[in-house]
Amino acid sequence: MPTSARPRALRHRVRALAGTLLAVATVLLTAPTAGAAAPTPAPSGAAAEGGATAPIVLVGVTGLRWDDVTTLTTPTLWDLSRDGSIGLVAARSVASRSCPADGWLAVSSGERAADLPADDRTCRTLRDPGEDGVVPGWDDYGASADAESYGARPGLLGDLLAGSGTPATGVGPGAAIALADGDGLPVGTHVARPGSTAALTRTVRDALATSQLVVVDAGVLRDPGYATAARGSSTAPDEELGDEIPGIADPTDPELPTPGAIVEPTRSAQAQTLDDRIGAVLRATERTGATVLVVSLADSSRATLQLAAALGTAPNGAEYARNLLTSGATRQPGLVQTVDVTPTLLAALDLDDDAPALAGATIVPTAGPATASARMAMLLDVQQQAQWVTRVSGGFSTRMVLAQAVLFVAAAIILTRKGRSDRRPLRPAMHALKIASLALAAAPITAFLTGLVPWWRAADPRMAFWWTVLAWIALITALALVGPWRRSVLGPAGFVAAVTVGVLVVDACTGSHLVIDTPMGAHRLLAARFYGMSNQAFALLTAAGLLVAVAIADPLVRRGRRVLATVLVGALGLLLVVVDGAPGLGSDFGGPPALILAFALLGIVVSGRRVQWKTLALILAVGALVVGGFAVLDWMRPPADRTHLGRFFATVLDGGLWDVVYRKLSVNLRVLTNWRYLVLAVFGIALTWIVLAGDRPRRGALMGPRSPLAGLQAAVPLLRPAVLAIGAGLGVGFLINDSGIVVPATGIAVAVPCLVAAAAQWRLENPEPTAVTVDDGPPTGVAARAGTAVATDAADGGSAQDAPVDRAGATAAVGTDEVSGASAAVATDEVSGASAADADAARPSASPTPPPPGPGAR
């Protein structure tokens, strides 16, 4: 459907009113990110005009990969890989595996679309239109699109062609789907695919004489045992097979051997057939100036990256010659999506201004290795990495979750065990707990660092992957234990958090190479994100970033330097917001509001001011304005240069907001019951409560009036505010992003082990538990001021554990009620943080008592 007048008028008004801003944004935002795929600049003059007027030919196939291409069996594709631009295709559709109909429906609608699924998961055998002229199965295609939340409208391409009067010709059953209008009738001329290659050449040559767009279905390649099955024109999934045997193909299918044959053709034999047909089409385009796209639109069985190649002039005027393919939707050299085909066709036909916002972007050439062999080797390497990372990711997540569950249970037992921690058996147990916690805190970022080592090229990729993981964990843990920061309570944990933040920030600024196809990153095969900050990376950035902020600010607060601490927290938060949300860097829509809220809460507590509901509302409004500003600036760039922030804003203008919201909610609900993330979330929250509650024992509490963790928060006054800020950030991320419980679970995977490591470190440095007065409620009035004074005295040179027993309750009050005011801010309208003025006022009333000479005196 063409863009409505109202959104189009709004678009023109915004552009007219923001001329100066557009000029600035163009300078700042159109510069290519380091390491990103930069499209070849378009030439001017006749070359550009020729790219707009020359015909374009789409040759669609199914299941063809670059590892099927050899010099002997597929000479046409081999020559094409030498002379044209080549790339890989992420062919994911609605489901994880795509069928032939799914790929052609993506061309028809410009969005992810699919056939109705069959009970036995077989794919439909495509047929040419019958006597009524309607594409077989069109009602099923429409019903499936209506049931999904991608906003796909089968027939979009055909309607645009018909509305503009663009002549088109389709050859074969898949082309009928691609060129059908909203009623399922192919636009222009449709012919069945000829049986011989010579006849196919004549058909395509004749079509080019009268048509601006020619679409050819060159056939399918299916793995043995995954042949397509016949269906009725429009039937329910449980009726479509009739008496057919599941998995056995229709013997009348021209793609299969002679009727009566039992065996299916091999991949090699099917690839040769497709290569012959592609060669016939290329011979027909000689001396016509036509642009040719050869795209494998769907999988052969299991999901893997498919084949793409192009010859001629790209829509931007550059030449498809001896380089790689990319698009603005992937920003990865050598990688495009199935949904990128439709925007490319529309741009080549000058129909892109009439189209609504689409998920894909124009396929353009980009620089790659200098030789054809190097380009092919690069694509095969990427394909192998994409395949292997899906095989090890599940095992990595499962093992990490189980290890963390064991850690959480062990920590709950060891940390709450009473007795001196400088003697057996607690001392070796505390050391082991500390080391294990640091190792598991390093595990999430190790999943990204594995991308620096080409483990998938090893003879045994699975074993090489695990050795790589263990090596990175050992290195980070060793540095955390031996560095100068090891003497601080938050030092080792802060180092692991700093490594996590540093790796993610540097990667986002250099092209997002570590986020792509790593166990906790974005997978090419899933086609959800190809650049920027993934949801799991955002969760790690939020949790680890706040831990780094606390490690920096806490010693400054205890020395009374709140202004400097607040400035540093704000600066770190601003850096992470920009890296996470800026187009071309993190390009994350849901991350900035969560980061702004979390760092603002922590900054307010660090400054000693009060947190109010009005303040929280203002912070959330600022977060919404920031992410909205990122999206608008990105949308103001040319469509080919937009990230998904700008495309989302265009989708909102075109009325597709509710489809996006519904899809995100559906995904959130679907992953909510995933046992891996539930285990991390539930166990992590429970352990965090145990650690924080240990410093506020009450009558009948779990650990009684004398807690082994008493005094921890007095030693680290910002501990509780940090935990609550992390919870707020991950909670908002849970609500906004489309990964649901994955976000808080991933943040917990780094935050809780760091908390355990800090608690173990503190107990090793404070071997004898501090007595704590049983407390029935938060201190008020003079008691609160006395608590603040004790904390201030301790920060000036003493230690909370050195305070006499009769003042221990006041000391604990500081860590829980005064300094960490953010905890009550979530539940009440107003909470006061410990301010320097209060501390100075209370100081004369609390004269410190000299500490006893040794542990025995305590």
More confident residue, 244 or 318: 318
Six-digit token pair at 459?
Answer: 């003879």
Six-digit token pair at 184?
Answer: 């399922």
3-class state of residue 192 by DSSP = coil
Beta-sheet pairing, 291-296 with 213-220: unpaired
Please, are residues 298 and 103 in contact by the beta-carbon 8 Å criterion? yes
Q: Helices (DSSP H) in 110-236: which residue ranges?
A: 138-147, 156-164, 173-179, 197-210
Please, are residues 153 and 147 in contact by the beta-carbon 8 Å criterion? no
pLDDT, tens digit (0-9, with 9 covering 90-100), for 572-601: 999 999 898 887 788 877 778 889 889 988
pLDDT band at residue 842, thresholds of 50, 70 and 90?
Answer: very low
Please, are residues 77 and 278 in contact by the beta-carbon 8 Å criterion? yes
pLDDT band at residue 664, thresholds of 50, 70 and 90?
Answer: low
User: How many C-beta atoms surround the C-beta of residue 841 within 10 A?
Assistant: 13
Comparing CA positions, the residue from 52, 312, 55, 50 lying closest to residue 208 is 55
Comparing CA positions, the residue from 506, 542, 507 lying closest to residue 521 is 507
More confident residue, 474 or 837: 474
pLDDT score, position 818: 35
Say if residue 287 is in the same domain as residue 140: yes
Instruction: Identify whether 225 is part of a domain.
Output: yes
pLDDT score, position 573: 92
Say if residue 76 is in the same domain as residue 203: yes
Across residues 221-249, what is the average pLDDT?
59
pLDDT, tens digit (0-9, with 9 covering 90-100), for 421-441: 667 888 888 899 999 999 999
Instruction: Identify whether 856 is part of a domain.
Output: no
Instruction: Identify whether 830 is part of a domain.
Output: no
More confident residue, 348 or 626: 348
Please, are residues 322 and 104 in contact by the beta-carbon 8 Å criterion? no
End-of-domain residue from the set 765, 796, 823: 765
Comparing CA positions, the residue from 363, 356, 304, 364 lying closest to residue 110 is 356
Beta-sheet pairing, 830-831 with 85-90: unpaired
- CATH of residue 168's domain is 3.40.720.10
**Highest-confidence range of 434-438, 744-748, 808-812, 814-818, by mean pLDDT?**
434-438
Looking at every residue in the chain, the average pLDDT score rounds to: 77
pLDDT band at residue 415, thresholds of 50, 70 and 90?
Answer: confident
Instruction: Identify whether 169 is part of a domain.
Output: yes
3-class state of residue 23 by DSSP = helix
Across residues 265-294, what is the average pLDDT?
94
Say if residue 78 is in the same domain as residue 164: yes
The phi, psi pair for 444, rounded to 5°, reads: -60, -45
* β-sheet bridge partners, residue 830: 612
Six-digit token pair at 55?
Answer: 């015909």
Q: Residue 291: in which H helix or E strand, if any?
A: strand 291-296
pLDDT score, position 635: 67
The label of the residue with tokens 């007065």 reads: 773
Please, are residues 63 and 222 in contact by the beta-carbon 8 Å criterion? yes
How many angstroms separate the CA atoms of 12 and 817, rounded?
Answer: 54
Q: What percent of the chain has pLDDT over 90?
A: 42
Residue 17 reports pLDDT greater than 60: no
Q: What pTM was estimated for this model as a whole?
A: 0.74
Say if residue 82 is in the same domain as residue 164: yes
pLDDT score, position 834: 37
Say if residue 333 is in the same domain as residue 402: no
pLDDT score, position 780: 36
Comparing CA positions, the residue from 849, 792, 846 lying closest to residue 818 is 792
pLDDT score, position 12: 42
The phi, psi pair for 543, rounded to 5°, reads: -65, -50
Say if residue 125 is in the same domain as residue 274: yes
Across residues 471-496, what is the average pLDDT?
92
pLDDT score, position 831: 33
Give residues with Cβ within 8 angstroms of 140, minimum separation 6. 115, 116, 231, 234, 235
Say if residue 350 is in the same domain as residue 428: no
Instruction: Identify whether 530 is part of a domain.
Output: yes
**Highest-confidence range of 3-7, 285-289, 696-700, 803-807, by mean pLDDT?**
285-289
pLDDT band at residue 285, thresholds of 50, 70 and 90?
Answer: very high
For the chain, the domain total comes to 2
pLDDT band at residue 649, thresholds of 50, 70 and 90?
Answer: low
More confident residue, 192 or 586: 192
Question: What percent of the residues of the chain are helix, what percent strand, and what percent coil, each to the nearest 5?
Answer: 55, 10, 35
pLDDT band at residue 533, thresholds of 50, 70 and 90?
Answer: confident
Residue 185 reports pLDDT greater than 70: yes
More confident residue, 290 or 786: 290
Say if residue 283 is in the same domain as residue 392: no
How many angstroms separate the CA atoms of 719 and 714, rounded?
Answer: 9
The phi, psi pair for 599, rounded to 5°, reads: -70, -30
pLDDT score, position 572: 95
Residue 843 reports pLDDT greater than 90: no
pLDDT, tens digit (0-9, with 9 covering 90-100), for 701-745: 444 445 666 667 777 788 888 888 898 888 888 877 767 678 888
The phi, psi pair for 330, rounded to 5°, reads: -105, -35
Across residues 137-154, what is the average pLDDT?
87
Q: What is the domain extent for residue 112?
A: 39-368
Across residues 668-679, what is the average pLDDT?
65
Half-sphere exposure of 78 (CA within 13 A, CB side): 11
Residue 699 reports pLDDT greater than 70: no
pLDDT band at residue 789, thresholds of 50, 70 and 90?
Answer: very low
pLDDT, tens digit (0-9, with 9 covering 90-100), for 328-343: 889 899 999 999 999 9
Six-digit token pair at 105?
Answer: 């429906």
Residue 810 reports pLDDT greater than 60: no
pLDDT score, position 696: 52
Across residues 9-37, what is the average pLDDT?
39
Residue 159 reports pLDDT greater than 90: yes
The phi, psi pair for 788, rounded to 5°, reads: -60, -40
Among 126-140, 207-221, 461-475, 648-662, the minimum mean pLDDT is found in: 648-662
Say if residue 361 is in the same domain as residue 393: no
pLDDT, tens digit (0-9, with 9 covering 90-100), for 49-101: 333 468 999 999 999 999 999 999 999 999 999 999 999 999 988 888 899 99
Say if residue 399 is in the same domain as residue 342: no
Across residues 123-130, what is the average pLDDT?
93
Say if residue 390 is in the same domain as residue 360: no
How many angstroms separate the CA atoms of 468 and 462, rounded?
Answer: 10
How many angstroms separate the CA atoms of 537 and 532, rounded?
Answer: 9
End-of-domain residue from the set 720, 738, 765: 765
pLDDT band at residue 27, thresholds of 50, 70 and 90?
Answer: very low
End-of-domain residue from the set 717, 733, 765: 765
pLDDT score, position 447: 93
Among 35-44, 85-94, 621-630, the minimum mean pLDDT is found in: 35-44
Residue 6 reports pLDDT greater than 70: no
Residue 35 reports pLDDT greater than 70: no
pLDDT, tens digit (0-9, with 9 covering 90-100), for 441-466: 999 999 999 999 999 999 999 999 99
Across residues 238-264, what is the average pLDDT?
40
Instruction: Identify whether 774 is part of a domain.
Output: no
Instruction: Identify whether 529 is part of a domain.
Output: yes
Say if residue 363 is in the same domain as residue 386: no
Instruction: Identify whether 805 is part of a domain.
Output: no
